[in-house]
Amino acid sequence: MDFEDEADTVLEEDYYTTLNISKDATKEEINNSYRRLSRLYHPDKHVEPKQKEKADIIFNKIKNAYEILSDPHRRAIYDSLGVKGLETEGWEIVQRTRTPAEIRAEYEQLAEERAERKKQQQTNPHGAVTVNINATDLFNPYDDLMLDDLDITTDSILPSIEVSGMSFNQSVEFPLTQKDTCTLSGQLNTQNGTGNGGINLSWRHIYSHKSWSEVEVVAVGNGPAVSFKAFRTLSKRFYWNGGTILQFTPQGIRPGIMSTLAMQLDKHSIGYLTYHGGIRSMVSTSIVRDTESAQYNLSVQIGLPHSYISISYTKKLLNQELKLRLSVKYGTFGAIFEYGVEKRVSKHSNMSAAVAIGMPTGVKLKIRLTRANQVYSFPIHLCEEVLPAPIFYATVVPLVVYVIIKKGFVEPFLKEQHAKQVEKQREANRSKLMQKRKEAQAAVDLMNATYTRIVEEEETKKGLVIVKALYGKLISGSGDSSSNEDGNEEVIEVTVPLQCLVKDSKLILHELSKSQLPGFFDPAVGEEKSLLIVYNFKQQLHEVTIRDNEALRIPKTSHRCTNPT
């Protein structure tokens, strides 16, 4: 469960659920639902003053939903923005003569302008930190004889683990106009005591959605350099990017050129052809196929200092927010086989671990944490030879550490944060929730006569009769309720409201939260909710439990109880 998403809940009217229709309902379906509910809740249908007062509250709510959804213009705004979109702010220019499609286009334009203004207010920082760790002494320790030959003495009985190198990269953007952006970036690298770095300043101009150009100046580093880059969409299937670079060194000017031509092969596949010219020249081609469930990558490179061929496969497990990756790379440098996993650990964070087994490089463990626009990488060199022990520990230890941290620290912390957010949300919605509770009870009171009539009709023809219906935070679908600290139940009984929705021995609920149905309210704001229904059909007992946003059509043979109690 993503606790960060679950608690972000505000009570807001859902007009589709109020009328119990789908979001793609036709005008006729909207009218039919409104007429049906009007017969039940119209104030003129009730004589007693108290009942009339209750009916007036419910009917006004239904009438408001009908008036908005039956008007194509207001419905288009509601579909795009929700209830807030129906407010006048930002929509003064929307004319009544415009079509829903034009209204959506108008909103997209306003949203784009707001995004541009927001972009100008932020620097959009990106950063990367890499720490290279040499832990080869764990599995390839120097023996005493070798140490004597090197005239090295050590009294430590623990293996030596050292940081062999580090690199830091940071960049910030400065939007100048809607089409011009400056970027300032810096790099600092150190390897075995030797370091270098650089500062880059670039300016990018966007001509259209099809092309842009960029000029970049490297102030320090391996020598001043100036580069020019450009991008251009050539057709629906082809695009190109490339550029040139001039690096000024004491030995003279070193020119370089790079160019990439990409072709859309099909809906999910792209082919690339790349050429780099200069001191390190190379030609490469690759094919990338990316679908919802997997990604494939085949690359071939010929050039200096190395030539190679590589194949990689990534399996995407969307429900578990997990990616499994395998890759093989073979070239003039040797061969590398790599396997790893990437897991989403929070709303803005991903963590990955990979084991690289190579000849002659040995065994490496690569750990990476991505948090928003910041990347932290920890390549750990475990062994200079391919041995079973480092492979085993590189595979098992990260899994064990992840489970311990997740179960011992992350999950308890997230649960505590979630509980605080839910309580905060309840406090913010408390007055609305009390009003919703009163409205739901008033609706149920008005339904009693209709409920009795529908039950009698369904029993006469052995049709659909709701025996029990519970809605809220159910425990294992048992219908038991949990309680808040203040004792408020998080499960409500909705037998009467559901029976009143039965028509011709059928009950249809759509893919929307059930909390807005007449006679319902949200008893557990910010929590996962379910709906349990026990019903009789053809004198057979049936039972079904669905998630809050799940669609339902009953009766169904699959709901039949095999051992009714």
Mean pLDDT, to the nearest integer, of 71-81? 80
Has residue 487 got a pLDDT over 50? no
pLDDT given for residue 278 in this prediction: 83
Residue-wise pLDDT for 422-477, tens only, equals 777 767 667 777 888 888 888 888 888 889 999 999 999 999 999 999 999 886 54
State yes or no: pLDDT of 104 exceeds 90. Answer: no
Question: Confidence band (pLDDT; 50, 70, 90) for 324?
Answer: very high
* Residue 508, C-beta contacts closer than 8 angstroms, at least 6 positions apart: 20, 501, 552, 553
pLDDT of residue 485: 41
Res. 484: pLDDT tops 70: no
Which pLDDT does position 354 carry in this prediction?
96
Copy the structure tokens of residue 118.
């927001």
Q: Where is pLDDT greater, at 219 or 496? A: 496
Q: Is the pLDDT of residue 415 over 80?
A: yes
The string of pLDDT tens digits covering residues 527-562 is 889 999 999 999 899 999 999 999 999 999 999 987
- Tell me 450's DSSP state: H
Checking if the pLDDT of 189 tops 50, the result is yes
Which residues contact residue 504 at a Cβ distance below 8 angstroms, ignoring those fewer than 6 apart?
Answer: none
**Position 156 pLDDT exceeds 60:** no
pLDDT at 3: 45
What pLDDT, in 10s, does the model give residues 121-155?
A: 566 788 999 999 999 888 877 555 444 555 555 55
What is the C-alpha separation between 340 and 558, in angstroms, rounded? 41
The span from the CA of 314 to the CA of 123, in Å, is 33
Q: Could you report the per-residue pLDDT of 336-353, keeping only the tens digit for each? A: 999 999 998 877 888 999
C-alpha of 157 from chain center = 48
How high is the pLDDT of residue 110? Answer: 63
If you average pLDDT over residues 357-374, what whole number do you get?
91
Instruction: Assess contact for 344 and 371: CB atoms under 8 A.
Output: no
Over the chain, what is the mean pLDDT?
83
List own/partner pairs for 66-74 with CB under 8 A and 24 or more apart. 66/19, 66/30, 66/34, 68/15, 69/15, 69/16, 69/19, 69/21, 69/25, 69/30, 70/27, 70/30, 70/31, 70/34, 72/99, 72/100, 73/98, 73/100, 73/103
> Per-residue pLDDT tens for 371-397?
888 999 999 999 999 999 999 999 999
CA distance 160 to 110: 60
Task: Return the pLDDT at 12.
Answer: 66
In angstroms, rounded to a whole number, what is the distance separating the alpha carbons of residues 470 and 466?
A: 11
Closest CA to 527 of 488, 500, 469: 488
Sheet of 465-472, strand order? 491-493, 465-472, 530-537, 540-547
Given a contact cutoff of 8 angstroms between Cβ atoms, the answer to whether 446 and 41 are in contact is yes
